[in-house]
Amino acid sequence: MKELSLKIEGMACEGCASAVQNALAEATGVSSAKVDLSAKSALVRYDSAEADPGKLIAAVVKAGYRASLAG
């Protein structure tokens, strides 16, 4: 399992954070996703054989938010 931290833009409420978390959790290869609304970030654990950072960012974009690699 790999761990990835994403910076999330466009979240304004808990509903937004929930939408991002659900989008990430439903992505193929993701074992867990935790979104922090106040930090505007997400921590994702995933199987690198099934997912990669680009696919995880695409899942967030598809949910209507912007994402980039944190750090």
Q: Provide the domain count of the chain.
A: 1
How high is the pLDDT of residue 59?
Answer: 97
Per residue in 37-47, pLDDT (tens digit) is 999 999 999 99
CATH number reported for the structural domain that contains residue 49 in this entry: 3.30.70.100
Q: 5 pairs with which residues across the strands?
A: 43
What global pTM score does this model have? 0.93
Per residue in 18-39, pLDDT (tens digit) is 999 999 999 999 999 999 999 9
Q: Please write down the long-range contacts of 43-48, taking CB distance under 8 Å and 24 or more positions apart.
A: 43/3, 43/4, 43/5, 43/6, 44/3, 44/4, 44/5, 44/6, 45/1, 45/2, 45/3, 46/1, 46/2, 46/3, 46/4, 47/1, 47/2, 48/2
The boundaries of the domain holding residue 42 are: 2-69
